[in-house]
Amino acid sequence: MSPTSLLTDRYELTMLQAALRDGTASRRCVFEVFTRRLPPGRRYGVVAGTGRFLESLADFRFGTAELDWLADERIVDDPTLAYLADYRFTGDVVGYAEGEVFFPSSPVLVVSGTFAEAVLLETLALSVLNHDSAVASAASRMTSAAVDRPCLEMGSRRAHEEAAVAAARAAVVAGFAGTSNLEAGRRYGLATIGTAAHAFTLLHDDEAAAFASQVASLGAATTLLVDTYDVRAGVERALAAAGTSLGAVRLDSGDLAGLAGEVRHQLDAAGAHDTKIVVTSDLDEHAIAALAVAPVDVYGVGTSVVTGSGAPTCGMVYKLVAREEVDGRMRPVAKASTAKTSVGGRKAAARRLGADGRAVAEVLVQGPDELVRAWTAPAGGDEGVEGADRLRALHVPLISAGVVDPSRIGPDAVVAAARRHRASRDELPRGARRLSADEAAVPTVELRLQG
């Protein structure tokens, strides 16, 4: 991988330079990543990109090329260049497990370290988490609307080439069954899908020749695209080429619900009861929900999922919430800007669960820094929170003394994140998965620890 250190904003380095000069760079600090509000109409968000952030951090180094460029452009002075030459993050990071749902003010990532170490990570953390969490949040709405029918990601042609890889990974975290993107498959062990486009049919002298060629190459279990010309005739030719063992037919245009019903009847009448129907064509969560009663087996989603289905960012911010005093104690700090306030002090987080096991509230645990840092959810109680059967702690260790938890990166981490998402979404209260505009599915409340 190429160094990721310049995938950042200039002011991270100019702040570092000033802090090194005035002696505050070594102060211990706590930064939090959170969003003040969910996008309109969203009732929950999904944390995704944690593994990518941790992987990118391994390459957050300032080599000769990066330092020479910074020097040539006079971005920072020589003492700052010397500091950057040896830069390594040696602090701690905790956060929501990838795949977990989140709400306004949820501290999805908490970074502890010196100001110099931690401030440099702002843009890297936000660019990864804002993009991937937006995709995963949209993907979760789609897989929720699809219920037990698989969703397949095929939006690479609607995104930047690297964003396409990240989007494929985030979609799988939120329940998608596979992706058309081969690099995402290679890098993260994702299942890849895809057979042929309309161009392949148009290449041949007629549809029958195109289908015969595809079946000869890929076998009868392939998926044939039947709407290049006339759908009914296309299905007839698909069956002639592959027989009743044809894997699937794909519909990519027109009245998908009506066509799916007609094609299902046509396939069944021919004895092709196991041939599946795949639908594509600018689907989003609302279109998928509208197809719930249609005999559709698989949804292929492109543009909408890779662009966050109308919410391409989660609005996450990276804010300093505590810093070291002269006496070594941690002091809460907060912004007071109109409409951009933050809550000072390190926070732990938990989900309050009712007697039915469903979420009742998002709990922000606050108080003296040392107590919050050491807090764990009570084993069998509710810590005095009325009406709760238990609290489920949400923060997990991601980096300890600069060392990344290896279980949080790589292909296995994607599988674990998808599993965590299913469990977390199943915890939401009834009605939380409705697509109609509403408030956050659960309120955010405070639990204050007394020193």
pLDDT at 437: 77
Per-residue model confidence (pLDDT) at position 348: 97
Q: Distance (Å, rounded) from C-alpha 151 to C-alpha 154?
A: 10
Residue 289, domain CATH:
3.20.20.70
Domain interval for residue 260 = 195-296
The answer to whether residue 152 is domain-embedded is no
Q: Mapped to the 3 state alphabet, what secondary structure does the chain carry? A: CCCCCCCCCHHHHHHHHHHHHHCCCCCEEEEEEEECCCCCCCCCEECCCHHHHHHHHHCCCCCHHHHHHHHHCCCCCHHHHHHHHCCCCCCEEEEECCCCEECCCCCCEEEEEEHHHHHCCHHHHHHHHHHHHHHHHHHHHHHHHHCCCCEEECCHHHCCHHHHHHHHHHHHHCCCCEECCHHHHHHHCCCECCCCCHHHHHHCCCHHHHHHHHHHHHCCCCEEECCCCCHHHHHHHHHHHHHHHCCEEEECCCCHHHHHHHHHHHHHHCCCCCCEEEECCCCCHHHHHHCCCCCCCEEEECHHHHCCCCCCCCCEEEEEEEEECCCCCEEECCCCCCCCCCCCCCCEEEEEECCCCCEEEEEEEECCHHHHHHCCCCCCCCCCCCCCCEEEECEEEEEECCEECHHHCCHHHHHHHHHHHHHHHHCCCCCCCCCCCCCCCCCEEEEECCC
Which one of 272, 296, 320 terminates a domain? 296
Q: Is residue 68 part of a domain?
A: yes
Assigned domain for 264 exists: yes
Residues 125 and 230 in one domain: no
**Are 201 and 275 contained in the same domain?**
yes
Q: Which residues of 390-413 are buried (b: 16+ CB within 10 A; e: fewer)?
A: bbeebbbebbeeeebeeebbeeeb
Tell me, what CATH number does 75's domain have? 3.20.140.10
62 with 88, same domain: the answer is: yes
Which residues fall within 8 angstroms of residue 87, CB to CB, at 6 or more apart? 5, 60, 61, 62, 117, 120
CA-to-CA separations, 108 to 36, 100, 294, in angstroms, rounded: 12, 9, 38
pLDDT digits (tens, 9 = 90+) for 165-200: 999 999 999 999 999 999 999 999 999 999 999 999
Q: Are residues 119 and 67 in the same domain?
A: yes
Write out pLDDT tens, residues 295-327: 999 999 999 999 999 999 999 999 999 999 999
Q: How many domains does the chain have?
A: 2
Closest CA to 310 of 176, 152, 142: 142
Flag whether pLDDT at 381 surpasses 70: no
* pLDDT over 50 at 388, yes or no: no
Pairing mode, strands 403-404 and 395-400? antiparallel
| pLDDT of res. 335 | 77
For 243, phi and psi rounded to 5 degrees? Answer: 75, -170
Residue 342 has a pLDDT of 78
b/e map 91-130, b = 16+ CB within 10 Å: bbbbbbbbbbbbbbbbbbbbbbbbbbbbbbbbbbbbbbbb
179-215 per-residue burial string, b: 16 or more CB within 10 A, e: under 16: bbbebbbebbebeebebbeeeebeeeeebbebbbbbb
287 and 336 part of one domain = no
Residue pair 71/88 in contact (Cβ under 8 Å)? The answer is: no
Assess whether 61 and 126 both reside in one domain: yes
Q: Record the pTM.
A: 0.95
pLDDT score, position 104? 96
Average pLDDT over residues 420-425: 98
Residue 338 has pLDDT above 80, yes or no: no
Q: Is residue 374 part of a domain?
A: no
Residues 28 and 106 in one domain: yes
399 bridge partner residues: 93, 404
Q: What is the pLDDT of residue 187?
A: 97
What residue has token string 């979420």? 359
| Residue range 233-264, pLDDT digits in tens | 999 999 999 999 999 999 999 999 999 999 99
The whole-chain average pLDDT of the chain stands at 95
pLDDT tens for each residue of 8-52: 999 999 999 999 999 999 999 999 999 999 998 899 999 999 999
Locate 398 and state its tokens.
Answer: 């991601």
Distance in angstroms (rounded) separating the CA atoms of residues 124 and 43? 26
By CB atoms closer than 10 A (0-12, 13-18, 19+), residue 327 is exposed
Structural domain ending residue among the three candidates 268, 296, 324: 296
Radius of gyration of the chain measured on its C-alpha atoms = 25
Distance CA 132, CA 67 (A): 29
Does some domain include residue 158? no
Are residues 327 and 205 part of one domain? no
Residue 182 lies in a domain: no
**Distances in whole angstroms, Cα of residue 3 to Cα of each of 63, 64, 124, 167, 401:** 8, 11, 12, 21, 21
Predicted pLDDT at 380: 61
Q: Looking at the structure, tell me whether residues 316 and 254 fall in a common domain.
A: no
Residue 62 has pLDDT above 90, yes or no: yes
**β-strand partners of 349:** 364
Residue 217: band (very low, low, confident or very high) from pLDDT cuts 50, 70, 90: very high
Do both 86 and 204 map to the same domain?
A: no
Same domain, 100 and 211: no
What count of Cα atoms within 13 Å lies in the side-chain half-sphere of residue 196?
25
Tell me if 161 is assigned to some domain: no
Please indicate, yes or no, if residue 150 is contained in any of the structural domains: no
Structural contact between residues 345 and 371, judged by C-beta atoms closer than 8 angstroms: no
pLDDT confidence band for 1 (50 / 70 / 90): low
* Beta-strand relationship, 151-153 and 178-179: parallel
Instruction: Look at residue 378 in the predicted model and tell me its pLDDT.
Output: 86
Does 315 share its domain with 433? yes
